[in-house]
Structure 1
Amino acid sequence: MARKANAAKVRLIIMLFIVAALCIFCAIAPHFMPNDPNRAELLSAKQAPSEKFPWGTDALGRCVLSRVLSGAATTVFSALLIVVLSLVVGCAVGVICGYFGGGLDAFMMRVVDVFLAFPGMVLALAVAGMLGKGLNNAIIALVATGWCQYARLSRSYVLSLRQENFVLAARLNGQSSNSIMMKHILPNALRPVIVTASLSIGGAMLSLAGLSFLGLGAQAPAAEWGSMLSDGRGLMQKAPWIVLYPSLAIFVSSVLFNLMGDSVRDVLDPLDSRNIFSKVIPTKKGNF
């Protein structure tokens, strides 16, 4: 058991290091662009990979490598922002509703039920369509449709935690509701939420790329991997490199984030019987 626990920890450390390296690379990637990502050279349009354009050019003669590097930070960090904002909003709603209950809880959970009744991408398309085109509106649309799962999950844990002895003792000790929620309930409810969030980053990236592919995300001339796929979808046979490299970038990034999420789940998920923390007493149990 100890050997499996140590192996899970090692895998998590390795994946966190790799993902951190990916994020650092995305931040500094624009410094390695061989050409201006927005400079159009019509005489070089749809040019195959060459010394000047290592990954070829698109229909307007723009360097594909430069645009992939330019759009790395936009795509990856936007996906991270979507997950973080969804987690914050969802946890706030879930903890408050689960702790206080009553009419507010009933109303908000019916709202969550309505949101969860629709496929997430369909609802995001509807919200993005109402807000209009643009990267910021696409992020808002995905956050507006993504917070529900965190609200439902955190509420379910709060309902079980609020009757625990350490919470009852904190109430008898005179602590306020805000103090109990922040110091005792939230830290114990965060673990499964963090697992879900880590597994959702790749999906958020794909959803954002999907909205951009449909023209609802980043707008020209900004480089974003999803919009690059949209620009090259009609040239897949004549110039496949236009969509090949953005697709590979999305694929590799999504796989890395999913592998990291699997590693986080192996270490933190309290519902997994193989989990090294499944028998641990809540960390805040003795702090009143």
Structure 2
Amino acid sequence: MKDKITKGVLFRLGVFFLAGLGVLMIIGVFVFTNESLHPDMSQRFLAPSREYPFGTDHLGRCIFSRIAEGGLLTLQVSTLSLAGTVFIGVPLGLISAYAGGKIDTVIMRIVDGFAILPDFILAIVIAGLLGPSLQNVLIAIVAVKWVQYARLTRGTILSEKQKEYILAARSIGCRHVRVLWKHLLPAVVPQTITLASLDMGKIILIIASLSYLGLGAQPPIPEWGAMLNDARPYFQTEPLLMIIPGTMIFLTVLSFNLIGDGLRESLKINSL
């Protein structure tokens, strides 16, 4: 019982952190309309002030505005990437488990082929081959992440399709599409939501890492990983340039992990 209460507190803490980050991004984009893209060398390395809450960077751009715009950009790319992985992985897992036979064998051999290398290594390879851009990072993430959803869906459906209500639906002549859509797909939704909430933090880390390596967002686009890379030469003299985007990445990933853990615990409780 105590563990359940702790999980609930952590879930609410994650939601609180995420809501706070959302408010910060909205304020940074719509309230502090400082220049975030074009340099102004006369404003370099200004200390935090009312006009520049986080100060300015090595090119005189407002760090607060860049953090806010970079956060919105990261969330947009992460959400699109996650949607792509779900829309590819879940249907393939459904078809693989339900059809069985050669179709299942072919799909699972493809899944095994993608699963040979770790996600991040494979994402680096794909993004490197396609060229540096956020669009290619999105493609790379979808290409490496759909495998988990296909496996999760297949495992769930293999267990679910042997249950009596599925056998009864098929015995009275329900079409395959109806069985998949009305009966089997709802069984996958809770696990998919939980995995997606946990994966959101991982995807944000992949985006930031690829941008840090120069394979993601390109200057002058504000993105947290790219901001970390830009600030490396100035870490000893202006540590805030790295600390601020690093902290934002940490808090955002932590928030999604706490929410994902809370959802996983809730799913476990409801299934008892």
Q: Which moved more, 1:115-124 or 1:8-17?
A: 8-17
What code does the residue aligned with 1:97 have? S
Correspondence for 2:130: 131
User: Match of 2:42?
Assistant: 43
Shift of 1:102: 1.5
**How much does 1:54 deviate?**
2.7
Distance 1:11 1:243, change over 3 A: closer
Between 217-226 and 34-43, the greater mean CA deviation after superposition: 34-43
Identical positions, percent: 38
CA spacing shift, 1:80–1:23, aligned 2, 3 Å = farther
Change (3 A) 1:243 1:7: closer
SS at match of 1:276: helix
Please report how far the alpha carbon of residue 24 of structure 1 lies from its aligned counterpart in structure 2 after TM superposition. 5.9
CA–CA distance in structure 2, aligned partners of residues 59 and 11 of structure 1: 37
Deviates more, 1:102-111 or 1:40-49: 40-49
Q: Do 1:213 and 1:227's aligned partners in 2 also have CA atoms closer than 8 Å?
A: yes
Q: What's the offset of the Cα at 1:4?
A: 7.2
* Between 76-85 and 9-18, the greater mean CA deviation after superposition: 9-18
**Superposition RMSD on alpha carbons, in Å?**
2.2
How much has 1:142 moved relative to structure 2?
A: 0.6
User: Compared with structure 1, are the counterparts of its residues 241 and 21 closer, same or farther at alpha carbon in structure 2 (3 Å cutoff)?
Assistant: closer
Aligned to 1:100: 99
Q: Would the aligned equivalents of 2:15 and 2:255 in 1 still touch at CA under 8 Å?
A: no
Distance 2:26 2:10 in 1: 24
Counterpart amino acid of residue 172 in structure 1: S
Matches within 5 A, 1:102-181: 102-181=101-180
For the pair 1:266 / 2:254, whether they are aligned, the reply is no
TM-score, normalised with respect to structure 2: 0.91
SS in 1 for 2:269: coil
Give the structure 2 partner of residue 214 of structure 1: 213
Partner Cα distance (2:65, 2:219) in 1 = 15
How many Å separate the matches in 2 of 1:6 and 1:170?
40
Question: 1:19 Cα shift?
Answer: 3.5
> Aligned ranges for residues 204-283 of structure 1 at < 5 Å?
204-268=203-267, 275-279=268-272
Structure number with the higher helix fraction is 2
Tell me which amino acid in the other structure corresponds to 1:144: A
For the pair 1:201 / 2:194, whether they are aligned, the reply is: no
Q: TM-score, normalised by structure 1?
A: 0.87
Q: Distance in 2 between matches of 1:25 and 1:172?
A: 55
Q: Which runs of 5+ in 2 are unaligned?
A: none
